[in-house]
Structure 1
Amino acid sequence: MKKPSTLSRRMIVVVLMLAIVGQACTFSLLENPFTTGTSTQTPGVAVPSATPQAMAQTNFVVILPEPLQANETLVIAVMDEVTGLAFSSLQYPMSARDSLTYTAVLPLPFNSVVKYRYIRRGAAQVLEDTSLGSEIRYRMFYVAGPSEIQDVISDWGDRSYVRPIGSILGQVFNTDTGSPLANMLVTAAGVQQFTDSSGRFELVGLPTGTQTLLVYSPDGLYQPFQQGAMVAENNATVVNLRVKPMPLVNVTFSVVVPESTVPGVPVRIAGNILQLGNTFADLQGGVSTNPDRMPILNLQADGRYSATMALPVGTHIQYKYTLGDGYWNAEHKSDGQWVLREFVVPAQDLSIQDSVETWSFGDSPILFEVTVPSVTPPGDIIYIQFNTFGWMEPIPMWPLGNNRWTYKLYGPLNILGSFSYRYCRNGQCGSADDAQTVGSAPTGRQVSTSVIGQDIQDTVNTWKWYENPEPISLVGANIVPRAGGFIAGVEFQATYHPNWSFYAPQGFANTQAIGANMVILTPSWTFSRVSPLGFAPVPGIDPLWIDSAIMISQARALGLNVSLFPTPNFETLNGPTSLSTNFWKDAPKDAVWWQSWFARYRTFAVNYADLATQTGAQTLILGGDWIAPALPNGKLADGTPSNVPADADAQWRSIIAEVRTHFKGQVLWGLPFTKAAIEVPLDFLRDVDGIYLLWSASLSSNPSATKLDYANEAGRLLDNEVATLVSLLNKPLILAIAYPSAAGSANGCVPNGQGGCLDWTELNRPNADISSAILSLQTQADIYEAMLATVNARPWISGFVSRGYYPPAALQDKSASIHSKPTADILWYWFPRMLGTIK
């Protein structure tokens, strides 16, 4: 039998996990369970899973950048990513060998992967930084036996030092097949990066000397690989690393829960690998796990909860049981300590018998019950979000039926006192909000802990941006069916959060329901630094390789064609929007920098060419409206030259040629419709298969303009400024439009309140609402009808795409998303008729 590919092995494992997770909230507590007295406790004593683990003495030696002050001490913190890096760690004091060298010997489990970092404790607690000033989430070490680790602290969070640095770059390969591996976490000196489709990584800003280099598989499918790597000043150490794939065995988790557990509620497993909900990201409030990505155990007839999953042999598993996430409603010991179970997956099937001592910690549990509006979409799940030291990740509630939801908060309640909470739809707190608690930082509803149990009953009177949705009255039209190959598509917006994976199938189903035949996904990498250029996926902001692969698989399963339009993210540079203006302005833009930029964009494009090939996506779109400064004769936003190299056209031709060696499908170029973009000849466009025209053109400056006025202006622009380009290139053109549901959208200028115009992406969720923009659903609907009529009269246009779709929740907001807006009804009428599926 042929072995499955690397991607398919990962898809099998993670899709199985999604199948388990997909059971979330499909139950209904039709009767109030808090009055039944039913117990989920199984009589008898559970067989404990914990067996003594063999321990290895590990000596940590660290060199400081300067001596500690008299009132300061140094500790090493072993991190707990399951509970949350901000909440749980074991801190061990270190002893001074001399003024700059400190040591600590820790007994650590054999074959475990330990996550740790150094902390300077004095008047305040200060974490270590990298040489480039970014906080170290954690360092990693694979405990293969007794050993010594030598580390160097580059910076502290409250100060910086000048020290010699270098870098490590290389590739990671499968030992058995020799194929490169994507989605592997590579780390040294606390610097981390995920590998791309070629297995490549680059760790920059490392202190000179020997660094411990670790390759870690976030899903455990490959054995950790660790070695020392010598870093030389201002030089790159090049390494090729090979990791061994591990077989899968069945692990059955079975757990007895306390009698106080609400009967039938979902019991999840939170853990340290992807399959157990770890996102390897800094999520809201300091957690890293997400309940929507955790497996749910099945309630058995004997009252136990259990689940069987395929896990890779040798994987170090840390886990806990929870009614929420790794922090909220997670299991505790009877003395209130956090529980973090762990084991290494053996070479044979394993059955684990566990028992939860208690969910409660602190004051008495609080029962939250809420009634939501009748207009709430029937497929929506209501979430509750808590604010401790900041708003944390939302937790799915439990349905009672008849628009009623409940959640019982057991703990931790010992550190809260008074705290805030709020409700939202589909986990999109800050976007799909209760109208009383709108935005990213509301005061929220208030509650205080108590020694007496509480039953809080709330009502959500209105959902913000979904107050009273009503269907639009459709106007019939004589629609000409297009020839085969016409694209009727929906482009998802580039913003991403790990819980979107749970709602992607719903977005694809909605896309299919309006008659679209293609979905355009916009996976991203993030520009984290301008110089030296940092461009790589950042967990929690960008979808990991496996996240994108699963989404493509889900879309194709519904019969949708898939196009990938990789789109950079600038969030860590410029705040909450994806605008690139500051990035280009701040970049050195000298010859060396441009060489680095083109090399990294090439890697970016090839990565998604490989993803498209391995997942069966039909189309890849390069370019975009952000990329103008990198084109021949490039200009910055203010019109000044970008100093792009004279051979820019040749650079682009070379990138396109390399992409074609990795991907045999259709390659399009995302070209913004601007005067400069259309008029400046781009010879390399002859090398692509078509133009994906990014269209947000002004259609009228008259606030009283009609749909006919919009259509006439759109037709004039297309005939006079676009048709010539299509004729010259003799290639298909797909019109991809983005018009927010806001006044001024038809003029191409939604006011920013400062005399200027908003970029349409600034109105995307989850960005904060911009009060200067005035909601107008009708404006968007009228523009779409006009644009569709315009395309209907021009057979040389080969496709029509709606941009900016927000998949996780229906919102009738100001954004360009058409999700559940009147515009979606218009597309529902037009798309099937344009495709000829409805006459």
Structure 2
Amino acid sequence: MLLPAMPSSAVAFRRWRLVFLVLLLAVVAVAVWWRWCQLPPQPTNSARAPSSTSLPRADNRLRGVSWVAGDSVSSLDLEPLVRAHVTWIAQTPFGWQAGAATPEIQLHTGVGHRGYWGESDRGLTLTSQRARQRGIRTLLKPHLWLRGGSGTWPGDVKMNSEVDWQRWFASYSVFMLHYARLAETSGMEALCIGTELQHSVGHEAEWRALIAQVRAVYHGQLTYAANWNAEFEQVRFWDALDFIGIQAYFPLSATERPTKAALLKAWQEPLRRIAALQRKVKKPVVFTEIGYKTTPDAAIEPWSWPDRTAVLTTPDETTQATCYAAMFETFWPRKWFQGLFVWKWYPGLQPAGSARRHLDFTPQHKPAERVMAAWFAK
């Protein structure tokens, strides 16, 4: 028996209702997924264990880059690191100091004055979680930012009296212990307790006291990032840390476009000094920062930023890559050399970036990246 045909209006209504329900379910699914993505990882005793599908290399070296904080992080941002055999990132939150002689440090745990989500506690935690999912570990490396007055970098921090030094260490300890607890609860694998604070390292007792406080709340590896000049040889508390950290911006040339042979020869004196310290304290060495601009003068003053107004300057990718090659050839074969963090890495950076960025320190999309990846793969 034939059923009467349904009116066309009723058919259309049922179709639109079905479309509406499908769209509603899709919106709900996306909302649930987005909420899940924003949740920080729950602290666990095994948080530092890497994924079994992406274990670090057997030699356990730190194949690292200095990660630039942004407003988000995704698996797509981390994929280029995996391809380049990177196994560590350094994340850098900031404490704020009004001047080089000001003994108070301001701590900002949310989105700070620079406005970068990736420097907030939430951003640091989520970035380390995302990295761990790809087999990449985290060195948490808090820095001080001098806001104004005298001094422009942490190496200028210097108090005017012993009383002020004690006030500074008390304030700095609050700052560092916050990040030690964050590193512990987030499962970050290493913590740098200070960076380039060269005038402070003579206060050995204060640093040892801070290290003991940090050890009480954090159970990963500890280091200090000493400047390349004389600071790394002046630190007297290396024995209380797990490895020697050096900001390795050693000047290697007096001229532009040096050859690799010239750079290899220039590295011999810094190598001698570093090896002598390593023999003395019997700790492995890590370059907590090393990098070169994409400019002809990259090896003259490696710590110096490129002229930000020099957008018409022709980049020199060859010199940058040559600097990388000479550095790796000098240090990677040394058994006591435990790794390095390349300065620096911009998540999501496209090959056709700005002219200023192309002069920058990053090796991304340049021959230097291929040099780095080849050595990291060894």
Largest Rg, 1 or 2: 1
**2:245 aligned with 1:692:** yes
Cα deviation code 1:498-540 (max 9, x no counterpart):
xx23245444222221001111111222225665724111625
User: In 2 relative to 1, CA 630–808 (structure 1 residues): closer, same or farther, beyond 3 Å?
Assistant: farther
User: In 2 relative to 1, CA 654–785 (structure 1 residues): closer, same or farther, beyond 3 Å?
Assistant: same
Specify the alignment match of 1:711 in structure 2. 264
Distance across 2 between alignment mates of 1:598 and 1:667: 18
Specify the alignment match of 2:371 in structure 1. 826
**What is the TM-score with the length of structure 2 in the denominator?**
0.76
Distance across 2 between alignment mates of 1:581 and 1:615: 26
- Do 1:487 and 1:801's aligned partners in 2 also have CA atoms closer than 8 Å? yes
Distance across 2 between alignment mates of 1:772 and 1:553: 40
User: In 2 relative to 1, CA 672–502 (structure 1 residues): closer, same or farther, beyond 3 Å?
Assistant: same
Specify the alignment match of 2:37 in structure 1. none
Specify the alignment match of 1:779 in structure 2. 319
Counterpart code for 1:520: A
- Do 2:72 and 2:123's aligned partners in 1 also have CA atoms closer than 8 Å? no
Distance across 1 between alignment mates of 2:26 and 2:137: 43
User: In 2 relative to 1, CA 550–683 (structure 1 residues): closer, same or farther, beyond 3 Å?
Assistant: same
Counterpart code for 1:696: Y
Shift of 1:782: 0.8
Shift of 1:827: 1.6
Distance across 1 between alignment mates of 2:59 and 2:204: 33
**What is the TM-score with the length of structure 1 in the denominator?**
0.36
Specify the alignment match of 2:3 in structure 1. none
**2:195 aligned with 1:619:** no
Give the SS at the match of 2:280: helix
Cα deviation code 1:591-644 (max 9, x no counterpart):
33322211121112211111111111111112212x112221xxxxxxxxxxxx
User: In 2 relative to 1, CA 559–501 (structure 1 residues): closer, same or farther, beyond 3 Å?
Assistant: farther
**2:71 aligned with 1:489:** no
Counterpart code for 1:564: L
- Do 1:492 and 1:804's aligned partners in 2 also have CA atoms closer than 8 Å? yes
Match of 1:670 among 225, 239, 242: 225
Counterpart code for 1:651: E
Specify the alignment match of 2:301 in structure 1. 748
Distance across 1 between alignment mates of 2:368 and 2:22: 46
User: In 2 relative to 1, CA 678–527 (structure 1 residues): closer, same or farther, beyond 3 Å?
Assistant: closer
Counterpart code for 2:298: S
Shift of 1:787: 0.8
- Do 1:504 and 1:807's aligned partners in 2 also have CA atoms closer than 8 Å? no
Specify the alignment match of 1:721 in structure 2. 273
**2:107 aligned with 1:536:** yes
**2:89 aligned with 1:519:** yes
User: In 2 relative to 1, CA 612–506 (structure 1 residues): closer, same or farther, beyond 3 Å?
Assistant: same
- Do 1:678 and 1:721's aligned partners in 2 also have CA atoms closer than 8 Å? no
Specify the alignment match of 2:362 in structure 1. 817
**2:136 aligned with 1:591:** no
Cα deviation code 1:679-700 (max 9, x no counterpart):
43x3212111111211111122
What aligned pairs does 1:322-471 form with structure 2 within 5 A after superposition? none
- Do 2:190 and 2:221's aligned partners in 1 also have CA atoms closer than 8 Å? yes
**2:223 aligned with 1:501:** no
Shift of 1:582: 9.9
- Do 1:573 and 1:583's aligned partners in 2 also have CA atoms closer than 8 Å? no
Gaps of 5+ in 1: 1-42, 44-297, 311-481, 633-647, 750-758, 834-839
Counterpart code for 2:152: L
Distance across 1 between alignment mates of 2:310 and 2:222: 36
Cα deviation code 1:548-589 (max 9, x no counterpart):
11111111011111111111223x4379xx9327964xx762
Shift of 1:301: 3.4
Match of 2:125 among 544, 549, 573: 549
User: In 2 relative to 1, CA 687–301 (structure 1 residues): closer, same or farther, beyond 3 Å?
Assistant: closer
Give the SS at the match of 2:362: coil
User: In 2 relative to 1, CA 600–706 (structure 1 residues): closer, same or farther, beyond 3 Å?
Assistant: same
Specify the alignment match of 1:798 in structure 2. 338
Shift of 1:704: 5.1
Higher relative contact order (CA 8 A, sep 6+): 2
Cα deviation code 1:88-118 (max 9, x no counterpart):
xxxxxxxxxxxxxxxxxxxxxxxxxxxxxxx
Distance across 2 between alignment mates of 1:308 and 1:683: 53
- Do 1:491 and 1:804's aligned partners in 2 also have CA atoms closer than 8 Å? yes
- Do 2:193 and 2:223's aligned partners in 1 also have CA atoms closer than 8 Å? yes
User: In 2 relative to 1, CA 615–567 (structure 1 residues): closer, same or farther, beyond 3 Å?
Assistant: same
Specify the alignment match of 2:135 in structure 1. 559
Shift of 1:807: 2.2
User: In 2 relative to 1, CA 483–708 (structure 1 residues): closer, same or farther, beyond 3 Å?
Assistant: farther
Cα deviation code 1:347-370 (max 9, x no counterpart):
xxxxxxxxxxxxxxxxxxxxxxxx
- Do 1:518 and 1:560's aligned partners in 2 also have CA atoms closer than 8 Å? yes
Match of 2:152 among 579, 584, 587: 579
Distance across 2 between alignment mates of 1:308 and 1:788: 46
Report sequence identity in percent. Answer: 22
Shift of 1:819: 2.4
Counterpart code for 1:656: I
User: In 2 relative to 1, CA 551–654 (structure 1 residues): closer, same or farther, beyond 3 Å?
Assistant: same
User: In 2 relative to 1, CA 663–700 (structure 1 residues): closer, same or farther, beyond 3 Å?
Assistant: same
- Do 1:504 and 1:808's aligned partners in 2 also have CA atoms closer than 8 Å? no
User: In 2 relative to 1, CA 620–700 (structure 1 residues): closer, same or farther, beyond 3 Å?
Assistant: same
Cα deviation code 1:719-770 (max 9, x no counterpart):
x211110000100101341211122111126xxxxxxxxx43x44xxx9445
- Do 1:501 and 1:551's aligned partners in 2 also have CA atoms closer than 8 Å? no
Shift of 1:651: 0.2
Shift of 1:803: 1.8
Give the SS at the match of 2:374: helix
Counterpart code for 1:728: K
Shift of 1:711: 1.7
Bigger Cα displacement from structure 2, 512-521 vs 805-814? 805-814
Distance across 2 between alignment mates of 1:487 and 1:563: 10
What is the count of residue pairs matched by the alignment? 325
Distance across 2 between alignment mates of 1:747 and 1:709: 12
- Do 2:257 and 2:297's aligned partners in 1 also have CA atoms closer than 8 Å? no
Give the SS at the match of 1:705: coil
What aligned pairs does 1:187-266 form with structure 2 within 5 A after superposition? none
Give the SS at the match of 2:152: coil
User: In 2 relative to 1, CA 299–651 (structure 1 residues): closer, same or farther, beyond 3 Å?
Assistant: farther
User: In 2 relative to 1, CA 772–583 (structure 1 residues): closer, same or farther, beyond 3 Å?
Assistant: farther
Distance across 2 between alignment mates of 1:773 and 1:589: 42
Structure with the largest fraction of strand:
1
Cα deviation code 1:456-507 (max 9, x no counterpart):
xxxxxxxxxxxxxxxxxxxxxxxxxx962222111224xx4xxx23245444
Distance across 2 between alignment mates of 1:582 and 1:518: 25
Counterpart code for 1:580: W
Quote the RMSD (CA, aligned, Å). 3.3
- Do 2:252 and 2:266's aligned partners in 1 also have CA atoms closer than 8 Å? yes
